[in-house]
Amino acid sequence: MRLLAPIALIAFGMPVHAQDAEALAEKMLTALGGRAAWAATTNTVNDSQQNWDGDPSVLRAVITMDFERPRFRIESRGEGLHVIRVIDGDKSWRMTRDGKISAVPPELFADELKWYRGHVYRTLHRIAKRDPVIKLAVGKEGRLEVFEGETRIAWYLLDRANQPYRYGANEDDAGSLFGPWDAEKSGIRHPVYVTRTDGKWRAMLKRLEVNVSLDEALFARP
């Protein structure tokens, strides 16, 4: 029997822990609507109410996320506040609290691309379509970890229903907590809320759209 493990490794071409990660990913995707549905998801529009410890304390944020290229738009409104941020290569721009429109500063642009790289829902899409750029592993506490090269870009901790109840990106080892994945659109499941572990930022889903037509005008600088 001791010979079976090495033979299996040669036969299947991957270490046991990688096989475990693939199995874990399959369970997760199945619990979230299925691999095919997530692989076919090329963009989402996430409209949420956000409560946080900033000013104003209640925001309405709409995030339009393109899964196929590093492009997204975030528009936030609150009492006395209307800000927009668009990341789209050298066409990136933002509208700040004072209503001024300008290019996105290089440091912020780099941070936004890093956030995009480990984005929770886009990463599910990449896992589902078996993106060759990423690899999977099982980390501490049984987390499903996602890597680009040697860099961990995201991790998911699953509940007994195989749905993520905790997720983190990049160096974040604490992560955020997810409510039930009870929202459903075009075959995929989405959490009804997300919260930081300290409770100082919470987002409640109000509307979800999937695979919409992404008009270039949506990302264009005014």
Taking only the tens place, the pLDDT of each residue in 113-168 is 999 999 999 999 999 999 999 999 999 999 999 999 999 999 999 999 999 999 99
Given a cut of 80, whether residue 3 has pLDDT beyond it is no
Instruction: Give, in order, the Cα–Cα distances in Å from 181 to each of 25, 56, 76, 99, 184.
Output: 16, 28, 24, 36, 8
Over residues 42-98, the pLDDT tens digits come to: 999 999 999 999 999 999 999 999 999 999 999 999 999 999 999 999 999 999 999
Check the CA dihedral 118-121-127-131 and report its sign: negative
169 inside domain: yes
Q: Is the pLDDT of residue 210 over 60?
A: yes
Pick the closest to residue 153 from 182, 126, 184, 180 (CA basis): 126
- pLDDT value of position 1: 35
Write down the pTM of the prediction.
Answer: 0.90
Structural contact between residues 106 and 97, judged by C-beta atoms closer than 8 angstroms:
no
- Is residue 4 one of the residues assigned to a domain? no
Residue 65 lies in a domain: yes
Partners of 59 in the β-ladder: 50
Collapsing DSSP to helix, strand or coil, 23 comes out as: helix
d(CA 100, CA 90): 18
Residue 13 has what DSSP assignment?
Answer: S
DSSP-derived secondary structure for 99-121: S-EEEPPHHHHHHHHHHHHT-HH
54: three-class secondary structure by DSSP: coil
In the chain, the number of structural domains is 1
Residue 9 included in any domain: no
- Tell me if 54 is assigned to some domain: yes
In a domain, 36, yes or no: yes
Residue 33 pLDDT:
98
Dihedrals φ, ψ of 219, to 5°? Answer: -100, -10
Its domain, for residue 149, covers: 17-219
The pLDDT value recorded for residue 17 is 55
- What six digits make up the tokens of 93? 């721009």
* Residue 61 is assigned to a structural domain of this protein: yes
3-state secondary structure of 27: helix
User: pLDDT tens-digit profile of 28-50?
Assistant: 999 999 999 999 999 999 999 99
pLDDT grade for 18, boundaries at 50, 70 and 90: low
- Using pLDDT thresholds of 50, 70 and 90, give the confidence band for residue 177: very high
Alpha carbon distance 150, 134 (integer Å): 10
CATH of the domain at 211: 2.50.20
Closest CA relative to residue 219, chosen from 4, 57, 63, 37: 63
